[in-house]
Amino acid sequence: MQLTLIRHIKTVAPEGLCYGQTDIELPAGYEKVHAKITEKLKDSKFDVIFSSPLQRCKLLAEAISKNRQPIVFDDRLKELNFGEWEQKMWSDIESSAMAKLFFEDYINVAPPGGESFHEMVHRVKLFYDEINREYHGQKILVVSHGGPIRIFIKLIRNIEIKEVFDTRVDYGQLFTLIKISEE
C-alpha cells in the first residue's frame, strides 16, 4: 500500500487557540493555496481519497479530487478531541490542575470531556488496519490533521508513541509512506 498523507492548510484560528475537533474556517483566498497543493499532486493517481470531515480537510480533499473520484469522509481522521478546552486559549487552560496532569502525561490523560492521545492512536490504528486490509496494494490519499498524520507515521515506521512529536508536520505538508506487504 502506498499512503500519501497531507495536512490541511492554516486556518483562521488565532495563534494559541485550542481547536482540535472544532470546525474552524479557512482564510480568504484558501483556494489559491489548495491549487498549489493540487499542482504538486497533478501526476499522482489515487485509488481512493479519505478525509477528515472537518471543512479544513474536506475542502482540500475536494480540490484534489476535482470530482474525478469519490471521497470517503471518516471521523477517525479527526484531530484530538480536546473536550471542554475546545475554542479556549491555551494561556487560559495551562494554569488549571487538569492541564498540569495532561501536560505531564498527555498520552494517557484526556482533557475534561475529551480524549487522550492514546485513545486517538487507537481510533487511527483501527482506520489504518481497515484500509490496510481492504485497500491492500492500492494508492491511498488521506487528508487529515497533524495528530493523526503523526500516528500514521508511527504505525508505518514502528516508532514509539513518545517519539511521534519528533516528526514535524507543517500545514499543507505531504508525506508519502510505503507499507511493505507482510504476506
Task: Give pLDDT tens digits for 9-47.
Answer: 999 999 999 999 999 999 999 999 999 999 999 999 999
pLDDT in tens, 118-149: 999 999 999 999 999 999 889 999 999 999 99
Domain ranges, residue 125: 2-135+162-178
User: What's the N-to-C CA distance of the chain in angstroms?
Assistant: 12
Q: Would the pLDDT of 114 be above 90? A: yes
pLDDT recorded at residue 38: 95
pLDDT recorded at residue 177: 87
CATH classification of the domain holding 54: 3.40.50.1240
pLDDT recorded at residue 136: 87
* Domain assignment of residue 39, yes or no: yes
Strands of the 71-73 sheet, one edge to the other: 71-73, 48-51, 139-144, 2-7, 174-178
**How much of the chain exceeds pLDDT 90, in percent?**
87
Q: Would the pLDDT of 182 be above 60? A: no
* Domain assignment of residue 128, yes or no: yes
More confident of the two residues 92 and 182: 92
The pLDDT mean for the chain works out to: 94
* Domain assignment of residue 59, yes or no: yes
pLDDT recorded at residue 130: 96
* Domain assignment of residue 155, yes or no: no
Q: Which residues contact 15 (CB under 8 A, 6 or more apart)?
A: none
Q: Say how far apart CA 24 and CA 18 lie, in whole Å.
A: 11
* Domain assignment of residue 25, yes or no: yes
| Residue in the block written with cell 499543507 | 172
The C-alpha cell at 73 is 469522509
* Domain assignment of residue 72, yes or no: yes
- HEC string of 47-90 equals CEEEECCCHHHHHHHHHHHCCCCCEEECHHHCCCCCHHHCCEEH
* Domain assignment of residue 146, yes or no: no
The model's pTM is 0.94
| Average of per-residue pLDDT across 86-108 | 94
* Domain assignment of residue 106, yes or no: yes
Q: Which residues contact 157 (CB under 8 A, 6 or more apart)?
A: 177
From residue 174, give the alpha-carbon distance in Å to each of 17, 22, 37. 24, 23, 9
| Number of compact structural domains in the chain | 1
- HEC string of 97-126 equals HHHHHHHHCCCCCCCCCCCCHHHHHHHHHH
Residue 69's pLDDT band (cuts 50, 70, 90): confident
